[in-house]
A and B are shown apart, each in its own frame.
Chain A
Amino acid sequence: MSEQTPRSAAAGTSGAVVVTGMGATTPLGGDVPSTWEAALAGRSGARPLTMPFVEELGLPVTFGGTLAVPATDVLPRHESKRLDPSAQYALIAGREAWAQAGAPEVEGERLGVVVATGIGGVTTLIGAYDVLRERGPRRVLPLTVPMLMPNGAAGALAIEFGAQAGAHSPASACASGAEAIAYAAEMIRTGRADVVIAGGTEAAILALPIAAFASMHALSLRNDTPETASRPYDVTRDGFVLAEGAGVVVLESEAHAAARGARVLGTVAGAGITSDAHHIAAPDPEGLGATRAMRLALQQAGAQPSDVVHVNAHATSTPVGDVAEAVALRAALGGATDGVAVSATKSMTGHLLGGAGSLEAIFCLKALEDGLAPPTINVTELDPQIDLDVVLDEPRKIPSGPDVVALNNAFGFGGHNAALAITGPRGGAA
């Protein structure tokens, strides 16, 4: 409790970590505005997969959340050739975020990068192995290692923006994107950097990950109706929809942002990171680690449960995970849970794995900017075990601005729990 930040820090005095840029490429759109518009409209990004391997290998799942705008339509060939798709997506999102932040002038040694991924350069790894087996070792290209390594995206963004304060890639499966933002905020709070480009990315819609996730019974098998497959909180949910993409934000110390007159889009007021130490893949059924993560995030923000107006839940549409999180959320917020608008945006985006946490942090920022919680689609019968006020079908008005909190949850295999407490911009909804 002694390290608790005063409430005023969350609302923006010294020590606050503000957001000045956002970028994304997702199954819903090629940037943040189009993605957010599609989310508010309740559109699904799930579609049938057209790659030949789906039929050739007889995969049990034949759909996924592929990017709305292919990265190769955005990047010139000489760039896309040198980067694994996961790094390409991060670069596209990073450029959008950096441009929105106004390409801040900052010394390289005060600029950091934290870009996380759940799986890393698996497209490159699998492709290179095929080349090795079919055409021999001399055909394996020399950029294979820098492309497949999980820190490849962080390195690429550090080069792009000249970030020399450190480039990091925390790997915590599906918590990675949120953990990256938490780590970046800490870099600023502890004085290691003034500006940090942070987020998560994933590009793993490939035969092997599909077969492997399906082998765990983690994926929805609704091949006939991809757009209704992701249905968090519905009684008939049967697994998540594998998706891809990236979400990246520019974080900045409030002092640095104020000195250059940057527009503040919101604040990362608090972050909580815990681990379950329970099971490598299953969540703690009581969600104790998740509860602690949410409490820690609120504590660092100097906020009370009653300050929380919106939760972007991790809710992936798996039978066990959705309930465990709901229990954890109620334990963290207590009676205040009843007034909180809970959204499960994976019902629309699918599950971006390492990209999920950061994309959903962006959704929280947009929700607080617009005063609108995005909908949860595909719920025809709410699971009675879900004792939450779920935003169904249509966006819902919520309070906005710097004095209310949106919580963003992200959990990952390995027992990783990350929660971010986000506050909105001054002015709020127009």
Chain B
Amino acid sequence: MAQSENEILDGIAELVNEETGLPKESVEMDKSFTDDLDIDSLSMTSIVVHAEEKFGVTIPDEDSKNLRTVRDVVAYIQQAQG
């Protein structure tokens, strides 16, 4: 069952906060994980692993490497939950 965009955004913001200590408010739709939030690839992989569990989806490596912005992840999860 698909969650709303805002629910997913809040969930991602929580994961980013736990992983990096960045404030949840800094996790905005148009932010890039690497360029804007300065999250390294190991932390990004952790976030993806946790996101799979949290949202009950599978994000294969070939897809996750294309997820650049927060919006990309939210959209992917929403579609996967579809």
A133 within 8 A of B: no
A141 touches B21 (CB 8 A): no
Q: Which residues of B contact A146 (CB under 8 A)?
A: 42
A138 touches B19 (CB 8 A): no
B46 within 8 A of A: yes
Q: Which residues of A contact B52 (CB under 8 A)?
A: 138
Give A139 to B59 CA distance when docked, in angstroms. Answer: 12
B7 within 8 A of A: no
A143 touches B46 (CB 8 A): yes
Interface on chain B toward A: helix, strand, loop, or mixed SS? helix
From B19, B42, B49, B53, contact of A78 by CB (8 A): B19
B21 touches A76 (CB 8 A): yes
A139 touches B49 (CB 8 A): yes
A141 touches B46 (CB 8 A): yes
B49 touches A138 (CB 8 A): yes
CB distance from A229 to the nearest CB of B (A): 38
Give A78 to B21 CA distance when docked, in angstroms. Answer: 5
From A76, A77, A142, contact of B45 by CB (8 A): A142
Q: Which residues of B contact A (CB under 8 A)?
A: 17-21, 41-43, 45-46, 49, 52-53
Query: Closest 6 A-B residue pairs measured CB to CB?
Result: A78-B21, A142-B45, A142-B42, A141-B46, A78-B20, A77-B18
Give A142 to B47 CA distance when docked, in angstroms. Answer: 10
CB distance from B58 to the nearest CB of A (A): 8
Q: Which residues of B contact A79 (CB under 8 A)?
A: 21
Q: Which residues of A contact B46 (CB under 8 A)?
A: 141-143
A81 within 8 A of B: yes
Q: Which residues of A contact B19 (CB under 8 A)?
A: 78, 81
CB distance from B55 to the nearest CB of A (A): 14
Sample of 27 A–B contacts (CB below 8 Å): A76-B21, A77-B18, A77-B21, A78-B17, A78-B18, A78-B19, A78-B20, A78-B21, A79-B21, A81-B18, A81-B19, A138-B49, A138-B52, A139-B49, A139-B53, A141-B45, A141-B46, A141-B49, A142-B41, A142-B42, A142-B45, A142-B46, A142-B49, A143-B42, A143-B43, A143-B46, A146-B42
Q: Interface digits, A76-115 against B, CB 8 Å rule (1 contact, 0 not)?
A: 1111010000000000000000000000000000000000
Give A79 to B22 CA distance when docked, in angstroms. Answer: 11
Give A77 to B16 CA distance when docked, in angstroms. Answer: 11
Q: Which residues of A contact B49 (CB under 8 A)?
A: 138-139, 141-142
Which of B17, B19, B53 has the most chain A CB within a 10 Å cutoff?
A: B19
Q: Interface digits, A108-143 against B, CB 8 Å rule (1 contact, 0 not)?
A: 000000000000000000000000000000110111
CB distance from A134 to the nearest CB of B (A): 13
CB distance from B34 to the nearest CB of A (A): 15
Which of A76, A141, A146 has the most chain B CB within a 10 Å cutoff?
A: A141
CB distance from B61 to the nearest CB of A (A): 9
Q: Which residues of B contact A78 (CB under 8 A)?
A: 17-21
Give A404 to B56 CA distance when docked, in angstroms. Answer: 65
Q: Which residues of B contact A77 (CB under 8 A)?
A: 18, 21
> Closest residue of chain A to B41, judged by CB?
A142
CB distance from B27 to the nearest CB of A (A): 13
Q: Which residues of A contact B45 (CB under 8 A)?
A: 141-142
> Closest residue of chain B to A143, judged by CB?
B42
Q: Which residues of B contact A142 (CB under 8 A)?
A: 41-42, 45-46, 49
CB distance from B12 to the nearest CB of A (A): 15
Q: Which residues of B contact A81 (CB under 8 A)?
A: 18-19
